[in-house]
Structure 1
Amino acid sequence: MASRNHLQQRVLAYLFIAPALLITLGVVAYPILNVVVRSFRIEGEDAYGFDHYIYLFTNSIALNNLYYTLYIVVITVVLSLAAAYGLALFMRFSNSAVSRTIGALYLIPRFIPGLVAVNAMITVIRDSGLLNRIALAFGYDFKPGLMFNEKGIILMNLWFNIPFATMLILSALSNIPDSVIDSARDAGASRRVLFTKMIIPLTRKDVMIAATFIFMGNVGSFTTPYLMDSTSPQMIGITLFTQFNNLNYENAAALSVVMFLLCSVSAAVYIYTNMKDKAWEKQE
């Protein structure tokens, strides 16, 4: 009887989750599978092969677009994390008026629509923008040279990603009790030891979360490179749009799979780090 009741409970539980599972399969799994299958279809023929992937990894223009994208994304991740970590440390361990002001204002960029922020930045940094007009008032013709190249894109990416990374890292730092830090100092630990032996290990997982989401969010970015970048090379988000707009659906599908694989590598690094942390916790 008990076994029968247990079986009924399991069946009932599966029935409850079935609608969500079916929706997930319909709107997530099926489109992904369809794109993967289509990426192997040879255009104009009733056959399948690796032609589109061979093109992506042998054509010089396609390779330059891929390298260009990874270059921008990696620099964005590194600079965002470095700036965010510094800001988070300052806000966590400083009680000055400056740190409190930054703590009250640093999330404001997260509430500004992306298109509005990009257009606002363009009016400031373009060669005939606000910076140039201010310089002209003092007799200088200052041209920042931040439009239609990777510099402007990276600058805009930092605007979007530093507040997000700071929020995650600051949350991790706030979970470290002051009593633990004070005890370590009383035991003779220097600032370097506190940072390398305590703060970094305790915030490593949150840093990886921030890095993962920044990487994935910028690999396929569209608005910023569309408005601020040159025509060649292009980030792969723009390339994907161009391929799809030109009705090259199979090439677009193959490029989508490549983007998904790039994001999967980033996610795998995070999962591996998270699993190591959980294994360490179990040993403790």
Structure 2
Amino acid sequence: MSRAELISQRAAGGRLIGLLLVAAPVFLVVALILWPVALAVFDTLTVEGPSGPRFSLDAYRFFFSDEFSLRNLWMTIQVATICTVLLLLLCLPIALYLRFSASRLTGYIQALALFPLFVPSILLAYALIRTLGPNGSVDILLNAVGLPKLPSPYLTPWGPIIGLVWDNLPLTLLIVLAGLSNVSRASIDAARDAGANRFQVLAYIILPRIRGTLLVAASFVILGLFSAFTLPYLLGPAVPEMMGPFMRRTIIEVDDPIQARTQAVVTFLICAIFALFYVRSVARTRREQST
């Protein structure tokens, strides 16, 4: 056997092993995600007729003409947008401090920032209700010093915003920290030697290099917020409500599975847009690294 044939056989064997390694996760994605999504889309686009199922957009016409459904969708988009902006504004300064500071406090600050990762959502919701709810700890302290009560965020859109920001802080911080690891101290020192101030270093050295990382972090946060249920259900208002509790109420209390699937499909399509941004960002980063 010639050397070229031996190399060709080894390459074919490597491709086969690679295909076998990705076969299991691909099968799980198809069986647990793509196939149920396809069935849900099919159910929402068909109605039973005298001669069998026929194509129909009635479910989507009802959703986009129903004011209550649109209010719930709009609230979900608003909460997701506000939470994403707040998380990026909170995590970027913390990540910059942890990445470039040599202080002994960095370990304690990182531990505090990652602490919400180990707090279950149900315990977080209970703690926020007992702290910020009516007659909670904050109200008791204000009453003790003779100050008026503050409006409680409990059962308002700000209730789930506070809970979701706390809950998603560790993951967002870790993603931003991973992006900042690609920013070298040498480039920052060179910019400072050239006369750049802190704002210029941030705007022209750091942010351009972590732009893809920030987009990935925002995509992950938004995907998680659209699928959130526990915190919006326990802390948010009954009307309007986010899509997670809305889908549960539609299928359990209203007993309308077609509309619940329609709401799920609309949510999935919105999330797919941000997932597309994430995939394109990862592909662009790999191309840049390869060149």
Q: Same fold (TM over 0.5)?
A: yes
* Aligned pairs, number: 283
**1:129-188, Cα deviation, whole Å (9 max, x unpaired):** 000011111123413321111111111111112222122212322332323322222233
Once residues 68 and 176 of structure 2 are traced to their aligned partners in structure 1, the CA distance between those partners, rounded to angstroms, is 38
Aligned partner letter, 2:77: L
Secondary structure of the residue aligned to 1:42 is: strand
Bigger mean CA offset, 69-78 vs 102-111: 102-111
Per the TM alignment, residue 76 of structure 1 is displaced from its structure 2 partner at its CA by 0.5
What is the correspondence of 1:99-248 to structure 2 with a 5 Å cutoff?
A: 99-245=106-252, 246-248=254-256
The answer to whether the Cα contact below 8 Å between 2:187 and 2:205 also exists between their aligned partners in 1 is no
The answer to whether the Cα contact below 8 Å between 2:114 and 2:169 also exists between their aligned partners in 1 is no
The answer to whether the Cα contact below 8 Å between 2:130 and 2:136 also exists between their aligned partners in 1 is yes
**1:27-50, Cα deviation, whole Å (9 max, x unpaired):** 232212111111213378743311
Per the TM alignment, residue 7 of structure 1 is displaced from its structure 2 partner at its CA by 9.6
Aligned partner letter, 2:271: C
Q: Tell me whether 1:258 sits opposite 2:266 in the alignment.
A: yes
> Aligned in 2, Cα 1:16/1:277: closer, same or farther, shift over 3 Å?
closer
Counterpart of 1:268 (choices 265, 276, 279) is 276
**1:43-73, Cα deviation, whole Å (9 max, x unpaired):** 7874331111111111111111111110111
Aligned partner letter, 1:38: D
What is the correspondence of 1:88-107 to structure 2 with a 5 Å cutoff?
A: 88-107=95-114
Aligned partner letter, 2:163: M
> Aligned in 2, Cα 1:47/1:153: closer, same or farther, shift over 3 Å?
same
> Aligned in 2, Cα 1:59/1:137: closer, same or farther, shift over 3 Å?
same
Per the TM alignment, residue 11 of structure 1 is displaced from its structure 2 partner at its CA by 5.8
**1:220-253, Cα deviation, whole Å (9 max, x unpaired):** 2111111112211111111111122133111111
Bigger mean CA offset, 34-43 vs 192-201: 34-43
Aligned partner letter, 1:173: L
**1:185-207, Cα deviation, whole Å (9 max, x unpaired):** 22333322211111001211221
The answer to whether the Cα contact below 8 Å between 1:168 and 1:206 also exists between their aligned partners in 2 is yes
Per the TM alignment, residue 17 of structure 1 is displaced from its structure 2 partner at its CA by 5.1
Secondary structure of the residue aligned to 1:256 is: helix
> Aligned in 2, Cα 1:207/1:224: closer, same or farther, shift over 3 Å?
same
Bigger mean CA offset, 91-100 vs 162-171: 91-100
Once residues 203 and 273 of structure 1 are traced to their aligned partners in structure 2, the CA distance between those partners, rounded to angstroms, is 11
Secondary structure of the residue aligned to 1:47 is: strand
Bigger mean CA offset, 245-254 vs 195-204: 245-254
TM-score, normalization by structure 1? 0.89
> Aligned in 2, Cα 1:187/1:232: closer, same or farther, shift over 3 Å?
same
**1:83-142, Cα deviation, whole Å (9 max, x unpaired):** 111211222233345444212321000111111111111110012100001111112341
Q: Tell me whether 1:26 sits opposite 2:31 in the alignment.
A: yes
Once residues 100 and 17 of structure 2 are traced to their aligned partners in structure 1, the CA distance between those partners, rounded to angstroms, is 51
> Aligned in 2, Cα 1:20/1:160: closer, same or farther, shift over 3 Å?
closer
> Aligned in 2, Cα 1:13/1:233: closer, same or farther, shift over 3 Å?
closer
Once residues 91 and 198 of structure 2 are traced to their aligned partners in structure 1, the CA distance between those partners, rounded to angstroms, is 19
TM-score, normalization by structure 2? 0.87
